[in-house]
Amino acid sequence: MKRSMKHKSILWLLSGLLIMAGGCAKSKFLDINSDPNNPEDVPPRVLLTNTTVGIAFSNANELGRVASLLVQHNAGTANQALGFDIYNLDGSFDNSWNFEIYANSCSDLRTLISKTEANSPAYSGIAKIQLAYLFSLSTDLWGDVPYSQAGFGLQNIKPRFDKQEDIYQGNAGLGITSLFDLVRSGLADLAKPAGTLNPGADDLVFGGSRAAWIRAGNTLMLKFALQISNPNPTLATSVINEVLTNNTYIKDNAQDFEVPFGTNEGSQSPIFSFNNVNRPTDQMLSLRFLNLMKSLNDSVRLGRLYTHPAGPNLSNYVGFNNGSTAVPPAAATRSKYAPFVTGPDPTGKSFVRLLSNSQRAFILSEAALVLGTPGDANALYQEGIRVSMYKMGIPKDTVDIYFTNNPAIVNLAGTVEQKRKQIITQKYISLVPNPIEAYNDYRRTGYPELVLALNSAGDDPTTIPKRYPYTPNEAASNPNSPKPRPLTNVKLWWGK
């Protein structure tokens, strides 16, 4: 038997040598090397599902967890969260940058656009909106990033880092299309007649509804506009007026751009898996967020955002101070993300919430206040609070009682900056499920007013990070990566 096996091994080796001797000439015989699990031509319906999950995963995985600590929704209690909580960020985010944003979703979206733009524009329209969202996620966290040359595979393995102002505003001389024009191109594709292929169940968010994606795209334009309102209020105002004139954007909670995940292993959202399965003791409710909610008498939403082991009374929530070296409370007594944030909802799903109706209302409230765009700032502010409460499943009569009992909280008052602080603070509460957006607002406006974590460290212990540090792998492999990397105390182009 041993001799027979030896002879077989020799035969296999000889066969291999014969194949190699054939050089690089392609033959049908060599087609057996095609991997059925890694097809060369992936259909649009598969790509769309993958990109939708991919952009949601990028938002809600490590990038979102770190943001939740920096904006003090949560406090770190173990492992990496302890370092992130005190601003030790250098050396992090390789997986997020390489595998979640650029090598996965970005390249798939470029492929989806190129495959469908000519004959199946519904797919390319959705892909362009998703790509704009993905690139905004990247530039809003890091500043200058690969954009116009990114996602084209072997055509350009060392893409240029485009300036953030060019990413948002465009630069014709460098061949850079603005994020606004990328979304507009997607909206134009969605307005075209039906093509050869049209999305259906493979569109996990809107089931192939073009109208829904047009609403989402226009709402994304509103977000982008407010994001650049510090350095370019003229462009911001123009875009917001454009969207309001078109009058097609998210206006109802049922229209939210949110990606569903299951709760079975392999289909879980990163928020659910991290907080409920893999690392359930790494982070908990920040004492600072708890104190804010107490000051606003808001047990209404707090109970939907965080657990209350001893009952829903405000005195029964248990928080932990950011950066504290004390022993954290026992796991069973901690307040942690509630099911509205992590899932499951009554159907067994969890959601990564990317753009919401309440976010839209707060955006338009701030724009009306600061930029003078159409709308009543106070009415939009109140709408933002109300619809965020409704989204969390809070009954209308309970919401009405909160408004009646807290007139100073639910009505804007004071100077423009005092009113803006109110708007952003309420928006910050509504954004607990999407802390990256809360982090964007904090760096753009300075609100809510956060105090440094205890025992802060990192690049600058005197400053809450204003950007994420570039990743070690990108710095080593791409000569276009900024060197030396900007410290985390350097504000972004659109920052305050």
Instruction: Work out whether the CA dihedral 79, 84, 145, 448 comes out positive or negative.
Output: positive
Structural domain for 55, as ranges = 44-265+347-477
* pLDDT value, residue 211: 98
Distance CA 352, CA 53 (A): 9
Q: Has residue 50 been placed in a domain? A: yes
The CA distance from 123 to 112, in Å, is 7
CA distance linking residue 75 with residue 65, whole number of Å: 10
CATH number at residue 447: 1.25.40.390
Cβ neighbours around 34 below 10 Å, total: 9
Amino acid letter, residue 242: E
Q: Judge contact between 89 and 466, C-beta under 8 A.
A: no
On whether residue 38 sits in a domain, the answer given is no
Burial letters for 426-459: b for 16+ Cβ neighbours within 10 Å, e otherwise? bbbbbbbbbbbbbbbbbbbbebbebeebeebebb
Contact at 8 Å (CB) between 465 and 440? Answer: no
Peptide bond into 309 cis (omega under 30): no
Q: Could you write out the three-class secondary structure of the chain?
A: CHHHHHHHHHHHHHHHHHHHHCCCCCCCHHHHHCCCCCCCCCCHHHHHHHHHHHHHHHHHCHHHHHHHHHCCCEEECCCHHHHHHCCCCCCCCHHHHHHHHHHHHHHHHHHHHHHHCCCCHHHHHHHHHHHHHHHHHHHHHHCCEECCCCCCHHHCCCCCEECHHHHHHCEHHHCECCHHHHHHHHHHHHCCCCCCCCCCCCCCCCCCCHHHHHHHHHHHHHHHHHHCCCCCHHHHHHHHHHHHHHCCCCCCHHHCEEEEEECCCCCECHHHHHHHHHCCCCEEEEHHHHHHHHHCCCHHHHHHHECCCCCCCHHHCCCECCCCCCCCCCHHHCCCECHHHHCCCCCCCEEEEEECHHHHHHHHHHHHHHCCCCCCHHHHHHHHHHHHHHHCCCCHHHHHHHHHHCHHHHCCCCCHHHHHHHHHHHHHHHCCCCHHHHHHHHHHHCCCCCCCCCCCCCCCCCCCCCCCCCCHHHHHHCCCCCCCCCCCCCCCCCCC
In a domain, 148, yes or no: yes
Is residue 91 a part of any domain in this protein?
yes
CA distance 143 to 137: 10
Structural domains of the chain, count = 1
CA distances from 302 to 73, 316, 338, 354, 377 (A): 11, 11, 9, 20, 25
Supply the pLDDT for residue 345: 75
Residue 423 has a pLDDT of 98
Do the domain assignments include residue 239?
Answer: yes
Residue 472 lies in a domain: yes
In angstroms and rounded to an integer, the radius of gyration of the C-alpha atoms of the chain is: 25
Could you give the CA distance from residue 374 to residue 358 in angstroms, rounded to a whole number? 17
- Give the β-pairing of 161-162 and 257-261: unpaired
- Picking from 95, 89, 112, 114, the residue whose alpha carbon sits closest to that of residue 57 is 95
| Residue at 238 is within a domain | yes
φ, ψ for residue 356, nearest 5 deg: -125, 160
Please give the structure tokens belonging to residue 35. 């991997």
Which tokens hold the place of 137? 């996620």
Q: What is the pLDDT of residue 37?
A: 53
Q: What is this structure's pTM?
A: 0.91
Quick check: is 289 in a domain? no
Q: Give the model's pLDDT for residue 16.
A: 34
Burial class (CB within 10 angstroms; exposed 0-12, middle 13-18, buried 19+) of 242: middle
Q: Is 211 exposed, middle or buried (0-12, 13-18, 19+ CB in 10 A)?
A: exposed
CA distances 185 to 125, 218, 242, 403, Å, are 7, 12, 15, 42
Cα distance between residue 488 and residue 165, in whole Å: 18
Please list the pLDDT of the chain residue by residue as tens digits (496 residues).
333 333 333 223 333 322 233 333 333 333 444 455 555 689 999 999 999 999 999 999 999 999 999 999 999 999 999 999 999 999 999 999 999 999 899 999 999 999 999 999 999 999 999 999 999 999 999 999 999 999 998 888 899 999 999 999 999 999 999 999 999 999 999 999 999 999 999 999 999 999 999 999 999 999 999 999 999 999 999 999 999 999 999 999 999 999 999 988 888 999 999 999 999 999 999 999 999 999 999 999 999 999 998 777 888 999 999 999 999 999 999 999 999 999 987 778 899 999 999 999 999 999 999 999 999 999 999 999 999 999 999 999 999 999 999 999 999 999 999 999 999 999 999 999 999 999 999 999 999 999 999 999 999 999 999 999 999 999 999 999 999 999 999 999 999 9
Give dist(CA 315, CA 294) in Å, integer. 9
